[in-house]
Structure 1
Amino acid sequence: MSDALQSQDWANGRGGKWQSQLSAIEAMLKPVDTPLLAAMDLSRPGRIADIGCGGGGTSLAIAARAAAGSQVHGFDIAPELVASARERAVGADAPVIFEQSDVTVADLPSLRFDQLVSRFGIMFFAEPAAAFARLADWLTPGGSFTFAVWGPADDNLWMDGARREVAAVMALPEPDWRAPGPFRYGDPDPLLALLADAGFSGLHVDEWRGPLPVGGGLAPEQAADFALSSFAISERLADADESQRQTARQRLTERFRNHVSNGEVWMDARVHLVSGRR
């Protein structure tokens, strides 16, 4: 059994699990939208594509900030997440078009985009070289992109801490950080090489560090339950016996107790903001 989490997994069940915790996950990741949107050029009208838009939180935030006349399109492979995004878009001040699509094989859009953006949606491509080459074709000449990817696991223990506590109570394979998954581009150099080969230029990496509210602002016990049911490690924990599950929960709760502010678990995160042009 591989721990690699690929794009197709989001269409085959992983998206539904994410959707069941959507409010908590969106609240947890919302702090990343601030530096991500700040890195974009939203001062002029344009066509913007959000790749791996999930439940649409970032797409809607972009639409609210973008110049009048802009068009925002969100693309995701998971049908459950696209359905939720469409529901959230009803009545929004700036409408967003959401489409279920595997962008790695989808037909080229009839009108190309001025900007591509992604908040943690590009780390799961099974064939990243082909995927990025295709995304380059989505952009108009001179078009730009801004992609947020997680930094190293060691600097994102709000997530990897759950894996470590489970590993303390049951045997787990050593993670392959180069495989599809959240920390695939913790070292951004391989991503920069892929983007350059795909035809992008002016490549640049900025870094954001800041705290995230685990589960959107939960006490340690609830944060542990959230992490062990929502993160990818939950698939491994399903093979554990009840004693192992309870021990992992206790260990993770104690880890989270060391990061409480006003009754809520907040833990530091590190994000790479990768930008460039076609």
Structure 2
Amino acid sequence: MTSAPANLLRPDWNTTAGDGWVAAQSAMEAMLKPFSQALCGQLEDMPDASVLDVGCGTGATTFDIQDQMSPGGRCTGIDISAAMLGAARERAAREDSPARFIEADAQNHDFGEARFEAIVSRFGVMFFADPVAAFANLRSACTAHSPLHMVTWRPASENPFMAVARETALPLLPPEVAQLDKPTGQFAFADRNYVADLLAQSGWSNIVIEECNAACAFPAAALHTYAARMGPVARLMPQMDESLRETVTAAVHEAYLPYVQGDEVRFDAACWMISAKA
């Protein structure tokens, strides 16, 4: 296999993005819990499998899958963020979990003799520099007929909560800061035809892409941290002076207030559940 370009977001996930996720870890895990549960449901009949969780972050889905396995099963998470994996490994040690974690880019990591019997991902596959190469590499790490199950975002137009921070912040920024904004790839798999084509190109078959919707929530007490530390706005914060940071954070926080209900932030998420076979 020819070498593929590295993940261009690796520096972000090892600075502001990774640190922000760790800071907001409890809120993010609560928010995305429905999708971890959906992926667990796909593996209920595979209690003894060797499973790979791609873009595992702090390991929430990895641990959920591991917890439902028999003693013979094993879930391994892979991610490029040292900070997020540090949190995952601390939890594994604290809970004496058999879950394992690899710090590497799944696009070009040499999995060696590993042969996974299933691959899952909760919002962790949209950031590859070369998606076809990445999914070909993942397929080569599987046993024959291994299932692939992934959750990805549908378009931003169907997920206003996920886009409100950027839409609020950019008009407040001076041009020299605003021009540093760059797509993160969050909605890179919004087009189901594009996803089906790249999976077919990388050797996967029996491709099924279905709508997956969920009501998501996290504690309102975590909203300020979420507004200040998560997403594309957080990546621009180091380029702002203190006064501008405070202005932007306050504006973004206010933009989220329509989603606050009582002591929770609530919104509806519009996603794809993508399945295929190696």
Q: Normalised by the size of structure 1, how large is the TM-score? A: 0.86
1:11 and 1:257 mapped to 2: Cα distance? 27
Displacement, 1:26? 1.8
Distance 1:84 1:242, change over 3 A: closer
Distance 1:77 1:239, change over 3 A: closer
Displacement, 1:225? 4.3
% identical equivalent positions: 30
Amino acid paired to 2:10: Q
**Aligned residue in 1 for 2:160:** 157
- Contact in 2 for aligned 1:42/1:66 (Cα 8 Å): no
Give the root-mean-square deviation of aligned CA atoms. Answer: 2.5
Deviates more, 1:223-232 or 1:109-118: 223-232
Output aligned runs, 1:180-199, within 5 Å.
181-199=185-203
- Contact in 2 for aligned 1:42/1:65 (Cα 8 Å): no
1:143 aligns with 2:146: yes
Q: Which structure 1 residue ranges, 4+ long, deviate > 3 Å from structure 2? A: 40-44, 91-94, 171-176, 237-251
1:70 aligns with 2:73: yes
Local SS of the residue matching 1:103:
coil
Deviates more, 1:124-133 or 1:165-174: 165-174
Distance 1:175 1:195, change over 3 A: farther
**Aligned residue in 2 for 1:206:** 210
Distance 1:274 1:226, change over 3 A: same
Displacement, 1:10? 4.9
Structure 2 gap ranges (5+): 1-6
Q: Normalised by the size of structure 2, how large is the TM-score? A: 0.86
Aligned residues: 268
Structure 1 gap ranges (5+): none
1:217 aligns with 2:210: no
**Aligned residue in 1 for 2:41:** 38
2:203 and 2:147 mapped to 1: Cα distance? 12
2:28 and 2:240 mapped to 1: Cα distance? 25
**Aligned residue in 2 for 1:262:** 262
Distance 1:39 1:108, change over 3 A: same
